């Protein structure tokens, strides 16, 4: 698909919707091109913190060197995806921030379910999948990745939440067979303006509830909601750990800090805070 067939975002209209006293954002900037919106937003905040009141959103029409977990890089065709980064300053204890990737996933799932008519689910810790989006694939089942999330803490106590949503990519434009786009999955809409508006509102709601509960995901009800949209909890999984070993077991829930709890074949519960998770069976 040519970029001419993919309309640009209307920055003025989005600011009217999302910025100001009644909107979820304090600042919104849309740029034509970015190497990485996370990197660019972090640099802008470091250079002039006062110019970036939180929550602030940086959106790129074309991101050419996006960053994922473990330093993985990716690129999307111009205007084929939503690639953006959100600056937040929740004023919470640093230890509470470990929940941020899962909260961001919950917000993304909520926004997609409310707009595109597809059953989005979360894969621990930071992927968003569309269920029943393809034939069985090892490590993925019938689900396919439609969005990825990367959260990064800033030295001043704030954080950046980056998200990339595949919107109108064709099969040929996707980098791996485990990915899909909203268009390929038959979404009710691929209007990026509609989806971005829903994302902004969902993030404001989820993060607002988290802050109001002083970072306690359980008392806010967010912990239960995160588990409810998780495709990982209740699944048999293999986890490739940083030391090169592989953990097999059933994902049974989340630890108090958001880590994944996996019950192995011996009945022992292992706590996973970092690693690549593969679904062996979606429960």
Write the pLDDT tens digit of every residue in 106-119: 999 999 999 999 99
Q: Tell me what the mean pLDDT of segment 25-48 comes to.
A: 96
The CA R_g of the chain, rounded to the nearest whole Å, is: 18
Please give the structure tokens belonging to residue 106. Answer: 């919950």
Q: Tell me what the mean pLDDT of segment 165-193 comes to.
A: 95
Whether the per-residue pLDDT at 14 is higher than 90: the answer is: yes
pLDDT for the residue 74: 57
Distance CA 128, CA 117 (A): 15
Please give the structure tokens belonging to residue 90. Answer: 């929740």
Enclosing H/E stretch for 211? helix 192-212
Q: How many Cβ atoms are within 10 Å of 115's Cβ, its own excluded?
A: 21
Distance CA 66, CA 63 (A): 6
Instruction: Give the domain ranges of the chain.
Output: 3-227, 233-281
Is 0.75 surpassed by the pTM of this model? yes
Whether the per-residue pLDDT at 45 is higher than 80: the answer is: yes
Distance CA 63, CA 49 (A): 23
Whether the per-residue pLDDT at 97 is higher than 70: the answer is: yes
- Residue 175: pLDDT band with limits 50, 70, 90: confident
pLDDT for the residue 168: 97
Whether the per-residue pLDDT at 229 is higher than 80: the answer is: yes
Q: Which CATH number fits domain 233-281: 2.30.30.100, 3.40.640.10, 2.60.40.3500, 3.40.1190.20?
A: 2.30.30.100
pLDDT for the residue 2: 59
CB 200 within 8 A of CB 38: no
- Residue 283: pLDDT band with limits 50, 70, 90: very low
Whether the per-residue pLDDT at 77 is higher than 70: the answer is: yes
pLDDT for the residue 281: 63
Question: Regarding beta strands 56-63 and 27-34, do their DSSP bridges make them parallel or antiparallel, or are they unpaired?
Answer: parallel
Please give the structure tokens belonging to residue 213. Answer: 């509960």
Q: What values do phi and psi take at 200, rounded to 5?
A: -60, -45
Q: Residues 253, 258, 264, 269: what is their CA dihedral angle, to the nearest 10 degrees? A: -90
Whether the per-residue pLDDT at 73 is higher than 60: the answer is: no
Q: Residues 21, 86, 212, 271: what is their CA dihedral angle, to the nearest 10 degrees? A: 170
Q: Which residues contact 124 (CB under 8 A, 6 or more apart)?
A: 102, 230, 232, 233, 251, 260, 277
Bond into 125 cis (ω within 30): yes
Q: Which CATH number fits domain 3-227: 3.30.930.10, 3.40.50.2300, 3.40.50.150, 3.40.50.300?
A: 3.30.930.10
Whether the per-residue pLDDT at 235 is higher than 90: the answer is: yes
CB 276 within 8 A of CB 240: yes
pLDDT for the residue 141: 85
């Amino acid at each position: 698909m040519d970029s001419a067939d993919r309309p640009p975002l209307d920055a003025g209209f989005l600011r009217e919707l999302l910025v100001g006293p009644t909107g979820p954002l304090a600042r919104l900037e849309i740029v034509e091109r970015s190497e990485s919106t996370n990197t660019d937003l972090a640099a802008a905040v470091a250079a002039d913190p006062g110019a970036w009141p939180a929550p602030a959103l940086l959106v790129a029409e074309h991101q050419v060197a996006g960053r994922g977990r473990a330093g993985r890089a990716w690129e999307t065709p111009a205007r084929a995806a939503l690639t953006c980064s959100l600056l937040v300053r929740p004023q919470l204890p640093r230890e509470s921030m470990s929940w941020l990737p899962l909260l961001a996933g919950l917000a993304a799932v909520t926004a997609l379910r409310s707009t595109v008519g597809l059953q989005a689910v979360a894969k621990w810790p930071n992927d968003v999948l569309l269920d029943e989006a393809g034939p069985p694939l090892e490590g993925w089942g019938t689900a396919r990745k439609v969005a990825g999330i990367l959260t990064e803490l800033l030295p001043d106590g704030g954080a950046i939440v980056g998200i990339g949503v595949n919107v109108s990519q064709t099969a040929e434009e996707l980098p791996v067979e485990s990915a899909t786009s909203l268009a390929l999955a038959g979404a009710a809409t691929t209007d990026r303006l509609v989806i971005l508006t829903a994302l902004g509102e969902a993030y404001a709601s989820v993060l607002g509830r988290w802050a109001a509960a002083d970072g306690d995901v359980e008392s806010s009800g967010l912990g239960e909601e995160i588990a409810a949209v998780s495709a990982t909890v209740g699944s048999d999984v293999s986890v490739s750990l940083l030391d090169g070993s592989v953990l097999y077991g059933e994902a049974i829930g989340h630890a108090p800090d958001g880590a994944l709890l996996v019950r192995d074949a011996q009945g022992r519960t292992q706590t996973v805070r970092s690693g690549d998770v593969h679904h062996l069976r979606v429960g």
